[in-house]
Chain A
Amino acid sequence: MSDLLTIADKTYQSRLIIGTGKYKDFNETRDAIETSGAEMVTVAIRRTNIGQNADEENLLDYIPPEKYTILPNTAGCYTAEEAVRCCKLARELLDGHDLVKLEVLGDQKTLYPNIPHTLKAAQALVDDGFKVMVYTNDDPIVAKELEAMGCVAVMPLGSLIGSGLGILNPHYIQLIKEDANVPIIVDAGVGTASDAAFAMELGCDGVLLNSAIAHAGNPVLMASAMRKAIEAGRESFLAGRMPRKAYASASSPLEGISR
């Protein structure tokens, strides 16, 4: 069955997007990503260390942009201006690659998105030709706004970044998905494989996660679990679940019982 995810005119077999932070080393990062089947991976943009470790290894040697779609994020940005600047640096760094993950954060305790600044940055980036995948809250009206601006994917949080608390507001995620004409990707909060499957069963187009794999006891094994969970959740959604009933309904025929 052909069931591809399309983001900004590019198609992906995998509906899992993986972050590259918090791994033990680059080998583990690479092994987890390969095992997860992800074709798109996020990276952060930071100052290069000056005057030390000139031979320091480079993340992009382990996850080559020729093989993966690199999704630079604006993590750590608390204003629209910082986020726009970060995206411009990323575009230069990646030779004109213009797909970005916009996240403008509200405070350090929750890393909850600052929506006024997110909207402002999204507009500026779209106007500048960026293809914006945007981290947002689970507000259906904000999601619609971001889509109307021209964002190529809207990415509501399941719960707080790095919390592993799962999908806390499934009904609102479903409302967002119901009305959307761009991919809806649950970004943040997934803690374990069942959370990822649940997000997909809600009808979401994909899941973006980092800590759930990187902070698992065995990250590469969890990457394998996530791959299967995303596939299982997607197939389950497409298959259509049985109706819930208040009372039992026997699976075996009631007639012909020897008495």
Chain B
Amino acid sequence: MNLTVNGDTLTLDGNTITDLVAQLGLTGRRLAVEVNREIIPKSQHGDVALNEGDVVEIVHAIGGG
């Protein structure tokens, strides 16, 4: 399915957020994920199925003041 992830289009070979995170090589990273502006807790990443056209944001901590 086609998603928008952090502003870019991406084709996901899978169904869940866990699948997406794995496809991006980010498994095990400290991340937060939003789908269509709703935060999905880490505990649900394996359960929540993504849908065609979903807008996903993946964020992490970087240096800042």
Q: A residues touching B (Cβ–Cβ < 8 Å)?
A: 19-23, 29, 42-48, 50-51, 54, 58-60, 70, 72-73, 75, 85, 88-90, 92-95, 161-162, 188, 208-211
Contact = CB atoms under 8 A, between A and B. Distances in A.
B29 A48 contact: yes
A58 B29 contact: yes
Chain A interface SS verdict (over half): mixed
Interface residues of B, number: 27
B34 A73 contact: no
Contacts of B30: 58, 60, 93-94
A89 B63 contact: no
Interface string B1-45: 000011110100000000000001110011111100101011000
21 contacts: A21-B64, A29-B63, A42-B65, A43-B62, A44-B63, A44-B64, A45-B32, A45-B61, A46-B62, A48-B29, A50-B8, A50-B10, A50-B58, A54-B26, A58-B29, A59-B61, A70-B61, A89-B39, A92-B42, A93-B32, A94-B30
Contacts of A50: 5-6, 8, 10, 24, 58
Nearest to A74: B64
Contact of A211 (B34, B42, B62, B65): B65
A90 to B, nearest CB: 7
A44 B29 CA distance: 16
